[in-house]
Structure 1
Amino acid sequence: MIRPEEPSWRKPAGMFIILGLIAFWAFLIGSLSEHLARLPGLVQAAVYIFTGIVWIAPLKPLLRWMETGRWR
């Protein structure tokens, strides 16, 4: 008979870290919106697209840690 694995505390902790990262990033970019509003529309779009993608970069090691307990 297969024994179910013990639940890991890393998954809920990682979920809260991800939510915190999203909130921090949204606050940071939102606080820059006054300065970004002065830029031409296409530049604004490029900045928002870039910053909308960049926050994903730290997720790969975080998700790996959530699954395995190792950062690398």
Structure 2
Amino acid sequence: EEFSMTRGSRTIIGVFSIIGLIGLIGLIVAAFANWIAPWPIWAQSLFYLGAGLVWLLPLKPLLVWMNKA
């Protein structure tokens, strides 16, 4: 019989995946901090705004998978 995960186990895996994704993106963005520091404040703000929204891209498919019946 094929292995199938329960909705609860998918939810737990999904939550930890989201937390890990946010942490990973934070580390990547932090690695660029010295490179971005000389930019004008408006350019830094746009960069950090965009970087802060990047983690939302994989969120929808992950949430759909987590809520699968």
TM-score by length of 1: 0.82
Asked if the contact 2:7/2:66 (under 8 Å) is kept, the reply is no
Counterparts of 1:1-72 in structure 2, within 5 Å, are: 8-68=8-68
- Structure 1: gaps spanning 5 or more residues: 1-5
1:46 Cα deviation after fit:
0.5
Instruction: Tell me which stretches of 4 or more aligned residues in structure 1 moved more than 4 Å.
Output: none
Aligned length: 64
CA distance in 1 between partners of 2:52 and 2:9 (Å): 28
- More helix, by proportion: 2
- Structure 2: gaps spanning 5 or more residues: 1-5
Asked if the contact 2:37/2:44 (under 8 Å) is kept, the reply is yes
User: RCO greater where, 1 or 2, for CA within 8 Å and sep 6 or more?
Assistant: 2
Identity %: 34
